[in-house]
Amino acid sequence: MNNLDEIGENEIKARKEFVRSKFDRWEKIVHKVLNVLQKIFGFYFVFIIYKAIKYRKKYLNRISYDNQYISVYFRKIDDRRIHQGRSHLLPLKNFEKMDYIIVTMFKLTSEERIIIIPRIFALGVISSILGTIFILDGIITKLLLIFRRDEDFLIRVQGSYVVDVRIEGKGTLAQILRSIVHEINVKYNVDLVHQTKPCLPTVHKLRFLYTATAAGLLILILILCFCEVLSRRLRHNVMDYFYKMRAKRRTLWLYNECLRRRATRIEIIKRKLIQNASSFRNRDDYKILKTIKTKFPWLWTFLEKFNLDFRQCLLCKSKEEFYRCPICSFYFCSPCFEDMDGNCLYCEARMEMLELMNEKFDDEETVALVKI
């Protein structure tokens, strides 16, 4: 008995040592992973410092670098020019709002959208994976609940169990066998009841707290993505605080640049219209929209009323009251149409491009081009 106790204690000690060795090994692995992550975060911190130094260098050496913010000093210059009766810039025109940033506005620029779109896409992939997991969990839980509810039944077995062995004879061998077999003879009634419920899986529904926590974290990450992009604008304010004279020079340069662009706005608008038209399809060309407009005018009216008809301004891509050019069939919002002096500058720009192309060819080639 003592030997058995010693064997049991030795086995328990061996198992303890095995578990401890496993735990120590995994603890070392976790510590190594944490050390690697700590070094990576350290390098990332160095990378942030490098980016800050690089931004400072460009800020001080290139006056046009990241110089697109309408600051307080910019507004002061504009107010001063208004009091002097000179031309001013604020409020900005529609075609200018796409190139300059008002820090207090939350509307993202095209560059900021390029930064945030990959992050939103990655977040969407993660959200779809989590959503799929939660949906599959709900389906499996429901199936198991149905299985547990419908497969719970009793099995009852009733009958008699009889073992009767008889040995006839009067000899010594017969008596010996009879004494042995007498213990084997059994006779009793069988009444067995078996229930399947203990064997069925125990189902635990996923708590709503976990789903709400996951959704809340995803929303928080989305908000942080927007905050991270918007906080990039603060770099300019930080540099303006430490380099005030440089900030004033940059603001003066920006104001003069805006005046120059305002003076040559027609050419700038033409260039933007040509750029947008290359990737901007005329929505009237869509067959489905033509079908809706011709066969379901009431639906087209509804879409127009709530700006759901996919029409956009060719210049600023906004959805407001539209003017439609009968030649190119593009739409323009009211402010942009006023900025273009009531003319379709896209058609003018296209005609100018054709004239420039025609000047490069001979008269015969020009005639052939017109015939084509």
> pLDDT tens-digit profile of 192-211?
777 777 777 777 788 888 88
pTM over 0.85: no
Same domain assignment for residues 282 and 367: yes
- How far is 93 from 268, CA to CA, in rounded Å? 12
Report which DSSP code applies to 101. Answer: B
Q: Is residue 294 part of a domain?
A: yes
Whether residue 77 is predicted with pLDDT greater than 70 in this model: the reply is yes
Q: Please answer whether residues 344 and 352 qualify as being in contact, where contact means their C-beta atoms are separated by less than 8 angstroms.
A: no
Same domain assignment for residues 271 and 363: yes
Q: 27 pLDDT band (50/70/90 cuts)? A: confident
Q: Is residue 131 part of a domain?
A: no
Q: 368 pLDDT band (50/70/90 cuts)? A: very low
Q: Is residue 72 part of a domain?
A: no
Q: According to the per-residue pLDDT averaged within each range, which of 48-52, 174-178, 331-335 is highest?
A: 48-52
Name the domain boundary from 39, 61, 83.
61
> With 0-12 CB in 10 A as exposed, 13-18 as middle and 19+ as buried, what is 254?
buried
Q: Is residue 298 part of a domain?
A: yes
Residues 249-273: pLDDT tens digits? 998 999 888 888 887 777 777 787 7
Q: In this structure, which amino acid lies at residue 240?
A: D
pLDDT of residue 220: 93
pLDDT of residue 108: 75
Q: What is the mean pLDDT of residues 13-37?
A: 81
Instruction: Give the tokens for residue 306.
Output: 């709530």
Whether residue 119 is predicted with pLDDT greater than 70 in this model: the reply is yes
Q: Is residue 30 part of a domain?
A: yes
pLDDT of residue 285: 45
Q: Tell me, rounded to whole angstroms, the distance of Cα 200 from its chain centroid.
A: 41
**Which residues make beta-bridge pairs with 192?**
157
Same domain assignment for residues 372 and 284: yes
Instruction: Give the tokens for residue 170.
Output: 């009067």
Weakest mean pLDDT among 237-246, 316-325, 332-341: 316-325
Q: CA angle 246-250-255, nearest 5°? A: 150
Report which DSSP code applies to 322. Answer: E
Name the domain boundary from 143, 165, 188.
188
Name the domain boundary from 61, 81, 101.
61
Give kind and range of the element (H or E) at residue 195: strand 186-195
Cα dihedral: 56, 60, 65, 66 (round 10): 50
Instruction: Give the tokens for residue 20.
Output: 């401890």
Q: Is residue 324 part of a domain?
A: yes
- Distance spanning both ends of the chain, measured CA to CA: 110
Residue found by looking up tokens 């997991």 in the block? 133
pLDDT of residue 142: 87
- How far is 349 from 357, CA to CA, in rounded Å? 12
Q: Please answer whether residues 314 and 273 qualify as being in contact, where contact means their C-beta atoms are separated by less than 8 angstroms.
A: yes
Q: Is residue 7 part of a domain?
A: yes
Q: Please answer whether residues 322 and 335 qualify as being in contact, where contact means their C-beta atoms are separated by less than 8 angstroms.
A: no
Instruction: Give the tokens for residue 130.
Output: 């989590």
- How far is 27 from 130, CA to CA, in rounded Å? 29
> With 0-12 CB in 10 A as exposed, 13-18 as middle and 19+ as buried, what is 235?
middle
Q: Which domain holds residue 170?
A: 157-188
- Choose among 323, 330, 334: nearest CA to 272: 330
DSSP-H helix ranges across the chain = 2-61, 72-83, 94-97, 110-150, 172-181, 208-231, 234-242, 244-263, 265-278, 287-295, 297-305, 334-339, 345-359, 363-371
Residues 136-173: pLDDT tens digits? 988 888 888 887 777 766 777 777 777 777 777 777 77
Whether residue 2 is predicted with pLDDT greater than 50 in this model: the reply is no
Same domain assignment for residues 271 and 183: no
Q: According to the per-residue pLDDT averaged within each range, which of 116-125, 275-284, 304-313, 319-328 is highest?
A: 116-125
Q: 325 pLDDT band (50/70/90 cuts)? A: confident
Q: Please answer whether residues 254 and 92 qualify as being in contact, where contact means their C-beta atoms are separated by less than 8 angstroms.
A: no
pLDDT of residue 371: 41
- How far is 303 from 290, CA to CA, in rounded Å? 13
Q: According to the per-residue pLDDT averaged within each range, which of 83-97, 216-230, 339-353 is highest?
A: 216-230
Q: What is the mean pLDDT of residues 10-35?
A: 80
Report the 10 Å Cβ neighbour count for 345: 26
Same domain assignment for residues 176 and 277: no
pLDDT of residue 328: 77
Work out how many domains the chain is built from and give that number: 3
